[in-house]
Amino acid sequence: METHDEVTVQVASSESPPEVRRDAEYWLEDGTVILVARGVEFRVYKGVLSTHSPVFADMFSLPQPDQSPSQCPVVHLDDSPEDFRYVLRALLPGTNQRFVCDYPDPKPDANMIFAYTRLGHKYQIEHLFNQAVEFLKKRFTGDLTGWSWKVNIGGYVPPNFKPMHAIGVVNIARLAGCPIMLPIALVVCCSLKPKRLLRGFKRADGSYERLDHEDLLRCLTATPVLMQKTTSAVLRAFAAFENKRCTTAARCQKGLQTLLHGSLATDGALIANPHPFHPWVFYAKDHIENGSICMHCLTAVRNHLRFEQEAIWKELPDVFHIDVEHWAEPSLAREPHQPAMHLPIVGESDSDSDEVGTHVTHRRVIAHSVSLLYQD
């Protein structure tokens, strides 16, 4: 890892600029260095930072100006104070740390993971950087089944993430050299509204995280391709078929056609969706309850849909024109008779109106509307 940021070291004066303020969480009276991140002062220990970061170790080894014992060297950093505070919480645990946690442990949020990767890379804090990247690799994986069990299906991202944070995941995948994370992160980006995709999302410090030009072009080019593949997959999965285990074939075939030409076909945006991995079989719930589709046929539809989705999953690197080694191997290795992939449904509410969907209930999954592609 390399760092390209310049830092300056100076002796703290008795009078600080009026715009500079002490951080309420990390101002340690016996600290040995003051780090100033965009007007916020952090007084911490040089030794602790040097232990974790060779960049800080080199920085603190520079000759210091003459100073009295009561004075403390000052280092100015061009970092977001919000990001830097996340890093200090990891390296200098405070009194709010939990050492014994009930399962499940609190889930890290997107801002924390992004801070760990950005500053972990910049300051060569390798264990922080590597753990954050590994967290993302496990959740933006090349295995469809592994991915589906680790995310919040309402937004296709991990808990404490929003769909817009997929933009940051794409950028981190580029930074870390982890192309395995790119396909599904780009799929989630394609499901965002155009305004959100172009504008990016606002970080805690007010700056915006955006896709670079090439990845933005990938999303704009891939969106209609994904919509076409999704439509074809759903139509094939719910088409009439012969099921030897079904004892009510006529009724089930009629129920499937009613489902396909009713619940699904009446909302074209539901199946013409840029995100191909919706649990469409959930729409058969009412037909199961009223007996118009038997469980044997539902299982068959689920299996058909699973293989259609796996076929699309396998093609994702080609859809986005990226090279990814060993993509989709575990998922595609499963036998046709194995149990179908079950996607968990959770009830979540998202107040951000620019996201792909705002609510998921046990009755329905909000789909991305085709009309959103043409909104300002």
Q: What is the pLDDT of residues 130-155, one digit of tens each?
A: 999 999 999 999 988 878 766 655 56
Q: What percent of the chain has pLDDT over 90?
A: 45
Rounded Cα gap, residues 276 and 144, in angstroms:
11
Nearest to 171 by CA among 207, 144, 147, 146: 207
Residue with tokens 């500079």: 20
- 192 touches 354 (CB < 8 A): yes
Residue 217, SS3?
Answer: helix
Its pTM stands at 0.79
List C-alpha distances in Å: 350 to 112, 154, 163, 206, 356. Answer: 19, 9, 10, 20, 10
Take residue 146 and report the two structure tokens written for it. 């592994």
- 154 touches 288 (CB < 8 A): no
Q: In the β-sheet with 73-77, what is the strand arrangement from edge to edge?
A: 8-11, 73-77, 33-37, 40-44, 21-27
The yes-or-no verdict on residue 344 having pLDDT over 60 is no
The yes-or-no verdict on residue 208 having pLDDT over 80 is yes
Take residue 31 and report the two structure tokens written for it. 């600290």
Predicted confidence (pLDDT) per residue in 41-99, tens digit: 999 999 999 999 999 999 998 876 665 555 789 999 999 999 999 999 999 976 666 65
Residue type, 102: D
- 116 touches 241 (CB < 8 A): no
pLDDT of residue 209: 97
Rounded Cα gap, residues 163 and 155, in angstroms:
6
Taken in order 145, 147, 151, 154, the sign of the CA dihedral is negative
Residue 76, SS3?
Answer: strand
Residue 71 phi/psi, 5° resolution? -90, 160
pLDDT of residue 99: 56
pLDDT of residue 316: 96
Query: Structural domains in the chain?
Result: 8-97 (3.30.710), 140-374 (no CATH)
Rounded Cα gap, residues 341 and 277, in angstroms:
11
Taken in order 43, 46, 48, 51, the sign of the CA dihedral is positive
Predicted confidence (pLDDT) per residue in 169-188, tens digit: 999 999 999 999 999 999 99
